[in-house]
Structure 1
């Protein structure tokens, strides 16, 4: 009987170890959103249902954080592929009046994006992206009247299969690649 109890105890311990959880997930719900891709095709948040994905907010005429963020996301994309993780990437333009599909595609390709699982989106108005970013991702997006530069968050966001933002990370400096990959593995396996 003692052996059976020990066996049951170790079975419970091992099964508990198999199911990891994220530390302090934010659990923000993404709202619905319709856009146009870098290829000029219609896109909506519904296309992301059932997929784990990483999101960020950029614009093509950005002269500060967007180029390094996009290169960092490209590096993350390569590392995710090396780890065998099935992850999608979405970059939302925060300057949709300037960033037409062709401009986004050129920007993406010039910064090393593999567009087979990375979508750049535009095709909405400025107010729409500002509201969406604040309500879903809890970041400010602001393009002051008459200005060319847009103020926006520089985070990468991990989103689960149900469209819930689980965690966010620095996307411009000191990107925690290993932590993002580890968290993505946890989200993918839950």
Structure 2
């Protein structure tokens, strides 16, 4: 009986050791260019003001008739799990790719259509011109944004990107998919949780 007891203790210790050795793994390391814009609440938000906590970013616009609605909903699904887990040290940042249309008031109305678990974590950004966001998306986050001169639509990537507490983009995920399991919501939550835990352990 004593031998079985010690075997169980050893196995449990090994399991706990394996769990504690799980570390966040970056896919890449891209330092974002500085920015300072207005969010949907009319507050100034900058890269510096976001530092200290990791955040999830994306590109959307309110007149989008294809991918933006499901992307926004998928982000609320990510946040729903974060809220249920009691995770709070993060932000969500959405850059509008149609800034002339997307005023803070328009962005506020847009976000109100979705089941957002905690609106205080969201920052829907605007207050720049179209050329700026096209260049910023490509040069800083390696993503495509392109205005369509023949319509009110804007072509943009459907990626969620994870930025660490130092303002470095470290991972990308699919933010939209026609497949039911195409967006890795659980993986996004897991990665964000690990980033937060590692930051707290360093403090």
Deviation of residue 135 (structure 1)?
A: 1.4
- Residue aligning to 1:102: 105
Deviation of residue 18 (structure 1)?
A: 2.3
Match among 23, 39, 43 for residue 45 of structure 2:
43
Instruction: Please give the alpha-carbon distance, in whole angstroms, between the structure 2 residues aligned to 1:25 and 1:93.
Output: 25
TM-score with structure 2 length normalisation? 0.82
What is the SS of the residue equivalent to 2:57?
A: strand
What is the SS of the residue equivalent to 2:125?
A: strand
- Residue aligning to 2:189: 181
- Residue aligning to 2:201: none
Instruction: Please give the alpha-carbon distance, in whole angstroms, between the structure 1 residues aligned to 2:168 and 2:55.
Output: 10
Instruction: Please give the alpha-carbon distance, in whole angstroms, between the structure 2 residues aligned to 1:71 and 1:104.
Output: 15
Give the RMSD, CA atoms, in angstroms: 2.0
Instruction: Please give the alpha-carbon distance, in whole angstroms, between the structure 2 residues aligned to 1:115 and 1:167.
Output: 23
What is the SS of the residue equivalent to 2:48?
A: helix
- Residue aligning to 1:137: 141
Instruction: Please give the alpha-carbon distance, in whole angstroms, between the structure 1 residues aligned to 2:56 and 2:93.
Output: 6
Match among 76, 79, 86 for residue 77 of structure 1:
79
Instruction: Please give the alpha-carbon distance, in whole angstroms, between the structure 1 residues aligned to 2:94 and 2:40.
Output: 10
Aligned positions, number: 180
Indicate whether 1:171 and 2:166 are aligned: no
Indicate whether 1:88 and 2:96 are aligned: no
What is the SS of the residue equivalent to 2:66?
A: coil
Contiguous gaps of at least 5 residues in structure 2:
1-12, 199-203
Contiguous gaps of at least 5 residues in structure 1:
1-10
CA deviation profile, 1:42-64 (whole Å, cap 9, x unmatched): 22111111011111110000000
CA deviation profile, 1:35-90 (whole Å, cap 9, x unmatched): 11111222211111101111111000000000010011011111111122222111
- Residue aligning to 2:57: 55
Deviation of residue 123 (structure 1)?
A: 0.4
- Contact map agreement 2:78 2:186 (CA 8 A) in 1: no
